[in-house]
A = this chain, B = another copy of it.
């Protein structure tokens, strides 16, 4: 690998650029995870996660990837042969249901074109039709990372309520937690799945389950075998501060710091920042004359924008050109959109300046790759951001005549 000057731009939709504060918080000697200091760390982390999930019940924290947290949600609530309802919004919705199938769960996957969100009306229809309540859970991703499509979780909840269906609601927030608003309690979510490596500004290595009372009760009779991912000892740790097996100590240190940073910025400001940068990105994409993978403007996820390349072009070649020339890593298209989209991550520890540099590199890289794009994407983003930075609403600080 040839030497490259200047910080690399990691603009995949997670894992993300880590704040120095988080890295330094993790660059620490270990402490005894069964010693007197550890419970305070656990408790700070659990309290902070509850603020992020907007939940009041327990939170299980696993040394795992997000996939592990998916598995935990399934294993702790379902029994072999149970049926779940899910929505094909992209690659990750598909993978979650495949994981469930590996455990003997029957999946009713509502097909989708990977460009639209889960449809509450379809959900309601399916549930209403399920007179015998064979469906034990509804699985939905708030943000489908492979396509940049966000589903309306409150809407899905209302669908369940209207159908008066007792199914559990299991929601993946891996690429939406601490990026867009999420309300575990208020929206009646039963298990919320999260991961460390996106909005929480940490490296990959922790998976989360926020758990409702109803989910806990379901867990008492759920019969899928479980040990590593069993909730109970993880729930006990919420109170004791001690874990059933060795926790990922440094990740806890980092998470404590990143949760503090979210508090300092304020979650609402975090959401507004992501909305702003996402809108700027979409304006750039449109100015280039390219198509956004998400076809429903109400369903854009603020964490990433998946961009379709024109027919005849290979999105991975485009990504390679952008990486080679401008040292910007973008996300690949996955599964059905392999080679057809590239994904710009605009999430976590990022601001206007860094986004505009990324968009400038992408704009130049598209041209270098021979993609017939119009210039002006960066300008469109700048036009939008120039009028929408937070300080813009504040009293004018324009340079006074001297």
Residues on A facing B (Cβ under 8 Å): 1, 3-10, 12, 14-20, 23-24, 26-37, 62-68, 70-71, 98-99, 102-104, 195, 197, 203-205, 224-230, 244-251, 261, 264-266, 270, 273, 309, 312-314, 317-318, 320-321, 323-329, 331-332, 339, 349-358, 360-361, 363-364, 367-371, 375, 378-379, 382, 385-386, 389-392, 396-402
Contact = CB atoms under 8 A, between A and B. Distances in A.
A203 B18 contact: no
Given A5-B265, A317-B400, A353-B358, A33 B15 contact: yes
Nearest to A98: B227
A13 B265 CA distance: 29
Contacts of A5: 265, 270, 273, 349-351
A272 to B, nearest CB: 11
Contacts of A397: 317, 320-321, 324, 368-369
Contacts of A325: 352, 389-392
A391 to B, nearest CB: 5
Nearest to A326: B353
A312 B367 CA distance: 40
A29 B402 CA distance: 34
A230 B71 CA distance: 12
Contacts of A320: 397
Contacts of A361: 352-353, 356
> Which are the 4 A-B pairs with shortest beta-carbon distances?
A357-B357, A6-B351, A370-B398, A356-B360
12 contacts: A12-B34, A20-B27, A23-B27, A205-B205, A205-B248, A225-B225, A313-B402, A324-B391, A327-B353, A360-B360, A369-B398, A375-B382
Nearest to A35: B329
